[in-house]
C-alpha cells in the first residue's frame, strides 16, 4: 500500500472522465500522487467515479465498489470514496447497502471529497486537468446537465438542468491544453445544441466552435451528442468554412417512427429528421454522421421497427450504435408506460438492426480503398501503427491500421496515408 497515493477509477462516459481528470489535478496540487485506472491499484486511498445511466452500467459500478470493499477488508486499502452518477442518484440507498465505503459523494462534490481528506479546492487550478488520454487529444466538456425530457432517459434526474460553461473559460482551457500538446478536441456535453441558451439566451455553439477553430494549434475539433430538434443552423456554415472542424457529427436520433418519437417525447418528427440529414449532407459535403438508435421502447410495434430498419438502409449512417430499452426508475417511461416488449424481442430487433448496419459499414469502408486520408497516430499495437482519420472518434469508431514496415511513425503526429484495404470496421493504409 503506497502512502499518499490515490487511485482513481472511472466508469462510464467521457464526461465522467473529464471530472476525474479535474479531480486528479486538484489532488496533485494538494500533494498526492495519483494513478488512473491502474491495472493493480496500490494506493492507500481509492476513489471510484461511477456511472448510473442504464442497468448494465449500474451493475458494473456496484461490482467495482464491492471489489474495492474487499481490498479494504483485506487491509490492502485504507480509505474508499465513491462519487459520480450512481452515487448522485442513489446516495441514501448506497450508504445503507454498502457501509464499507468511507463516504459517498454526488456527481459534482469534489470540494467535499478534498475537504474530507483535509485539503482545499484550489481555484487557481480550476481549468487544469491531468489528462488520462494520449496527450495529443482531449475531451472538452462545454456544459453539464440537460433540459430535454426524453421519456426513457435518467440523465436529467442525475445531472439536473443544463448549465453552460462561460465561453471565455472554455477558450482559456483550449489554449492551455494546446500549450500542453493537445491537437485534437472532442467537444462533449449531455446535449451540445443547447449550449449558451442559459448564459447568452441563444444557441451559442456555432460561435464557440468558430472561436475555438481560430485558436492557433487546434488541428481537429469533433462534435459529440447533438440533439435533432431546433438544430443551430449556423453550425453548418462553421463546419463547412473551417477545415479544422471535422466533417463529423454525433447526433443521437433514437428512432424514426412518428409513433415512437412521440412516445419518447423527442419533439421531432420523421419528416424533420429526414430533412435534417439531407441538409447536413447538402451543406457540409463529406460529412460523416454517427447516431445512436433505440429498439424496444414501450409501444414500439413491428411496423415501427420495420420503419426503423428502412431508415437505416436509406440513410446509410457512417457510424451507428444501438441499444435496447431498459426501464429506468423515475423516468416518464417508467411511470407512464408498461415495459411491454419481451427481452428476446428487444434482442432480436437489436441484432437485426446491427446486422443491417454491419453490411452498410463494410460497403462504405470499401469505397474508401484508394482514397488519401489525413490520420493521427494514437499508438503502436503489435505489427501495426493505429491511427484515426477526422471521421473517427477515439474509443467508439473504426481505426486506420498501418503496417510497420520499418518506417518510424510518431504518436500524436499527422500523416497522409492511402487506404489499401478495408474490412467491416477498420481501414488498412500505407503512408504516402
pLDDT above 90 as % of the chain: 80
pLDDT in tens, 118-127: 898 899 999 9
- Tell me, what's the pLDDT at 3? 84
| Count of CA atoms in the C-beta half-sphere (13 A) of 250 | 21
- Which cell numbers hold the place of 104? 459517498
pLDDT of 55 strictly over 80: no
Under the banding of pLDDT at 50, 70 and 90, the label for residue 42 is confident
**pLDDT band for position 185 (50/70/90)?**
very high
**DSSP summary character for residue 397:** S
Query: Which residues, at least 6 apart from 195, have a Cβ–Cβ distance to it below 8 Å?
Result: 142, 143, 164, 189, 203, 204, 205, 208
Question: What pLDDT is stored for residue 409 in this prediction?
Answer: 95
Question: Would you mind telling me the total number of residues written for the chain in this entry?
Answer: 432
φ, ψ dihedrals at 19, nearest 5°: -60, -45
| Strand pairing report for 33-36 and 2-10 | parallel
pTM higher than the cut 0.85: yes
Q: What share of the chain is helix, strand, coil (3-state, %, to 5)?
A: 40, 25, 40
Residue 1 predicted with pLDDT over 80: no
389: its cell numbers: 482519420
* Amino acid 88: pLDDT: 85
For 123-160, give one letter per residue: b (16+ CB within 10 A) or e.
eeeebbbbbbbbebbbbbbbbbbbebebbbbbbbbbbe
In percent, the amount of the chain with pLDDT more than 70 equals 100
Q: Per the structure block, which three cell numbers stand in for 202? A: 441563444
pLDDT exceeds 90 at position 424: no
Q: Is the Cα dihedral 129, 133, 138, 140 positive or negative?
A: negative
- Asked whether residue 110 carries a pLDDT value surpassing 90, the answer given is no
> What average pLDDT is seen over the chain?
94
pLDDT-derived band at 163 (thresholds 50, 70, 90) equals very high
Evaluate if residue 86 carries a pLDDT over 90.
no
Helix/strand/coil (H, E, C) string of 56-119?
Answer: HHHHHHHHHHHHHHHHHHCCCCCEEEEEEHHHHHCHHHHHHHCCCCCEECCCCCHHHHHHHCCC
**Per-residue confidence at 253, pLDDT binned at 50, 70, 90?**
very high
Quick check: 59 pLDDT over 90?
A: no
Q: Quick one: pLDDT at residue 38? A: 86
Q: Is the pLDDT of residue 94 over 90?
A: no
Q: Strand, helix or coil at 243?
A: coil
**Which of the residue ranges 56-60, 68-72, 240-244, 363-367 would you say has the lowest mean pLDDT?**
56-60
pLDDT reading at 425 higher than 80? yes
Among the ranges 90-104, 142-156, 247-261, which has the highest mean pLDDT value? 247-261
How many C-alpha atoms does 326 have within 13 Å on its Cβ side? 11
Please give the average per-residue pLDDT across 379-389, as a whole number: 95
The pLDDT score that the predictor gives to residue 57 is 78
In sequence order, which residues have a C-beta less than 8 Å from that of residue 40 and are 6 or more positions away? none
DSSP label at residue 47: E
Query: Residue 416: exposed, middle, or buried by beta-carbon count in 10 A (0-12, 13-18, 19+)?
Result: exposed
What's the rounded Cα separation, in Å, for the pair 99 and 77?
15
Amino acid at each position: 500500500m503506497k502512502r499518499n497515493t490515490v487511485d482513481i477509477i472511472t466508469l462510464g462516459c467521457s464526461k465522467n472522465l473529464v471530472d476525474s481528470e479535474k479531480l486528479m489535478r486538484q489532488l496533485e496540487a494538494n500533494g498526492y500522487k495519483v494513478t488512473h485506472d491502474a491495472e493493480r491499484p496500490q494506493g492507500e486511498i481509492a476513489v471510484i467515479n461511477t456511472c448510473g445511466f442504464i442497468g448494465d452500467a449500474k451493475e458494473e459500478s456496484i461490482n467495482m465498489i464491492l471489489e474495492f470493499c474487499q481490498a479494504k477488508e483485506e487491509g490492502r486499502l485504507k480509505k474508499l470514496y465513491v462519487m459520480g452518477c450512481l452515487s448522485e442518484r442513489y446516495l441514501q440507498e448506497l450508504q445503507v447497502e454498502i457501509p464499507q465505503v468511507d463516504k459517498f459523494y454526488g456527481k459534482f462534490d469534489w470540494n467535499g471529497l478534498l475537504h474530507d481528506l483535509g485539503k482545499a479546492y484550489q481555484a487557481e487550478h480550476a481549468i487544469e486537468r491531468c489528462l488520462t488520454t494520449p496527450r495529443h487529444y482531449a475531451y472538452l466538456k462545454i456544459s453539464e446537465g440537460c433540459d430535454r425530457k426524453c421519456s426513457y432517459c435518467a440523465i436529467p434526474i442525475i445531472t439536473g438542468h443544463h448549465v453552460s460553461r462561460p465561453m471565455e473559460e472554455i477558450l482559456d482551457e483550449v489554449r492551455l491544453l494546446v500549450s500542453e500538446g493537445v491537437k485534437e478536441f472532442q467537444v462533449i456535453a449531455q446535449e451540445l445544441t443547447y449550449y449558451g441558451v442559459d448564459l447568452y439566451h441563444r444557441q451559442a455553439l456555432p460561435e464557440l466552435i468558430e472561436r475555438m477553430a481560430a485558436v492557433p494549434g487546434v488541428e481537429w475539433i469533433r462534435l459529440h451528442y447533438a440533439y435533432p430538434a431546433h438544430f443551430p443552423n449556423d453550425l453548418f456554415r462553421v463546419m463547412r468554412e473551417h477545415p479544422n472542424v471535422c466533417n463529423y457529427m454525433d447526433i443521437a436520433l433514437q428512432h424514426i417512427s412518428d409513433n415512437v418519437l412521440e412516445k419518447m417525447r423527442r419533439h421531432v418528427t420523421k419528416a424533420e429528421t429526414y430533412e435534417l440529414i439531407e441538409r447536413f449532407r447538402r451543406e457540409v459535403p463529406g460529412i460523416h454522421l454517427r447516431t445512436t438508435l433505440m429498439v424496444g421502447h414501450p409501444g414500439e410495434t413491428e411496423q415501427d421497427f420495420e420503419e426503423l430498419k428502412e431508415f437505416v438502409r436509406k440513410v446509410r449512417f457512417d457510424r451507428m450504435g444501438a441499444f435496447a430499452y431498459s426501464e429506468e426508475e423515475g423516468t416518464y417511461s417508467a411511470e407512464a408506460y408498461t415495459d411491454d416488449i419481451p427481452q428476446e424481442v428487444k434482442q432480436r430487433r437489436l441484432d437485426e438492426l446491427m446486422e443491417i448496419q454491419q453490411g452498410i459499414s463494410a460497403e462504405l469502408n470499401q469505397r474508401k480503398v484508394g482514397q488519401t486520408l489525413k490520420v493521427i497516430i494514437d499508438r503502436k499495437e503489435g505489427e501495426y501503427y493505429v491511427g484515426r482519420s477526422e471521421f473517427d472518434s477515439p474509443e467508439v469508431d473504426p481505426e486506420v491500421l498501418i503496417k510497420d514496415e520499418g518506417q518510424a511513425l510518431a504518436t500524436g503526429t499527422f500523416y497522409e496515408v492511402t487506404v489499401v484495404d478495408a474490412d467491416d470496421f477498420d481501414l488498412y493504409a500505407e503512408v504516402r
